[in-house]
Amino acid sequence: MNVVNVVPMSHTMPETQVGVPHVSVMAREVVNLMQPAGATLLDLTVGAGGHSAALLEAGAASVIGLDRDPRALELARARLERFGERALVRHASFSTFEEVLDLLGLETVDGLLADLGVSSMQLDEPHRGMSFRAEGPLDMRMDTTRGETALELLARVDDEGLTEILAKLGEERRARRVARCIKQELEAGKLETTLDLRRAVVRAVGPARIGGVDPATKTFQAIRMAVNRELFELEGLLEAAARRVRPGGRLAILTFHSLEDRMVKRALQTDAWEPLTSKPLVAEEDELSHNPRARSAKLRVARRREVSR
Ligand SMILES: C[S@@+](CC[C@H](N)C(=O)[O-])C[C@H]1O[C@@H](n2cnc3c(N)ncnc32)[C@H](O)[C@@H]1O
């Protein structure tokens, strides 16, 4: 197996990341492994445009950035404006990225990048409803233009369905108990906001231990993943990637959840791909010191094999 060495990280935050709304995770490793010089790349989760900017700075011929969050697209557009026509930004869910390539008349690209999960902007803006740290509506949609909100999902699923979501996507050991409390609060008309949801979880499992992880963490993650159909999206992306990355081209995926990492690992073990990271790369200590969000990140990169599709 061909394992690529990564240039050591610098000990300070890259200058391009200071003061931005979302600090890109493992940007240096992504750039090293994507080999962007002269390449046409698709950034499936453009977010605040950090990875895209780094790839363009490293010589990518062009980057097409997708995001399902209209607010992220505004930020990405502003951040990537200086690259002129080399940067293109489109509103789309990445499971449908093939449609975007078809519209642009591109059969294949030289590389695909996906940086999964939520951005700091989404977590930090209370009205998005993704954080249990501030009061906001139970929305949690990344794409605010369509789909079911968290509150609508909670009203639609029964106790059993909610238990399954919490157990599978949140790996919540006390899923049944938490699901029952949430449904009870909902039926009593007492569940409208993020803090109501947090209170329902605390009622089920007790308060946080001092210095421990907030008891609502797993529940919020699970419901957000269900609202945004995150595993379904990833499945669609992995299924289409081998069709649209040219032979010799690269696929890089950053995950923040063990289920997602397992899906990526399995997909990269198929004949279509030659893994370039035998084990997933994780962030170096110096990156963790300025970006705690990188703590759970795993980066896997593979090269498209020269086989018939
Ligand atoms: C972690 S952020 C990306 C940050 C970006 N790499 C940067 O450096 O600024 C993840 C982004 O992916 C977007 N996203 C998540 N799932 C998506 C999907 N299925 N389709 C399109 N965008 C998605 C989110 O809206 C969010 O803006």
Sign of the Cα torsion 12, 57, 95, 156 reads positive
pLDDT greater than 50 at residue 13: no
Q: What is the mean pLDDT of the chain?
A: 92
Indicate the pTM of the whole model: 0.92
Taking residue 87's Cβ as centre, other Cβ atoms within 10 Å add up to 24
| Ligand 1 center to 307 CA (angstroms) | 30
Comparing 11-15, 68-72, 170-174, the range with the smallest average pLDDT is: 11-15
Coil, helix or strand at residue 117: coil
> Which residue, among 84, 104, 91, has the nearest Cα to 65 in the 3D structure?
91
pLDDT greater than 50 at residue 225: yes
Residues 165, 223: contact at Cβ < 8 Å?
yes
Phi and psi at residue 24, to the nearest 5° = -65, 140
CA distance readout (Å), 302 to 42, 93, 162? 15, 22, 35
- Asked if residue 172 has its Cβ within 6 Å of ligand 1, the reply is no
Pairing of strands 109-115, 245-255: parallel
Q: Which has more pLDDT, 117 or 259?
A: 259
Which of 67, 120, 221 most suits a substitution to test ligand 1, by most atoms within 8 Å of the C-beta? 67
Q: CA 189, CA 203: separation in Å to the nearest integer?
A: 16
Coil, helix or strand at residue 295: helix
- Asked if residue 255 has its Cβ within 6 Å of ligand 1, the reply is no
| Ligand 1 center to 193 CA (angstroms) | 24
- pLDDT recorded at residue 207: 86
CA 229 to the chain's CA centroid: 12
Give the atom of ligand 1 at the shortest distance from the alpha carbon of 95: 19
| Ligand 1 center to 197 CA (angstroms) | 25
- Asked if residue 136 has its Cβ within 6 Å of ligand 1, the reply is no
The domains found in the chain, sorted by start residue, are 15-121+230-304 (3.40.50.150), 147-227 (1.10.150.170)
Structure tokens of 269?
């073990």
Which of 44, 96, 119 most suits a substitution to test ligand 1, by most atoms within 8 Å of the C-beta? 119
Structure tokens of 129?
């409803």
| Ligand 1 center to 231 CA (angstroms) | 14
- Asked if residue 47 has its Cβ within 6 Å of ligand 1, the reply is yes
| Ligand 1 center to 59 CA (angstroms) | 22
Q: Estimate the share of the chain in helix, then strand, then coil, as percent rounded to the nearest 5.
A: 45, 15, 40
| Ligand 1 center to 47 CA (angstroms) | 5
Sign of the Cα torsion 224, 279, 284, 25 reads negative
Average pLDDT over residues 161-190: 97
pLDDT greater than 50 at residue 12: no
Comparing 180-194, 217-231, 286-300, the range with the smallest average pLDDT is: 286-300
> Which residue, among 87, 79, 88, 86, has the nearest Cα to 20 in the 3D structure?
79
Q: CA 119, CA 271: separation in Å to the nearest integer?
A: 32
CA distance readout (Å), 174 to 100, 156, 171, 210, 219? 41, 21, 9, 20, 10
pLDDT tens for 34-77 read: 999 999 999 999 999 999 999 999 999 999 999 999 999 999 99
Q: Residue 200, class by beta-carbon neighbours within 10 Å (0-12 exposed, 13-18 middle, 19+ buried)?
A: buried
Pairing of strands 87-91, 109-115: unpaired
Which of 45, 221, 299 most suits a substitution to test ligand 1, by most atoms within 8 Å of the C-beta? 45
The residue whose C-alpha atom lies closest to atom 5 belonging to ligand 1 is: 47
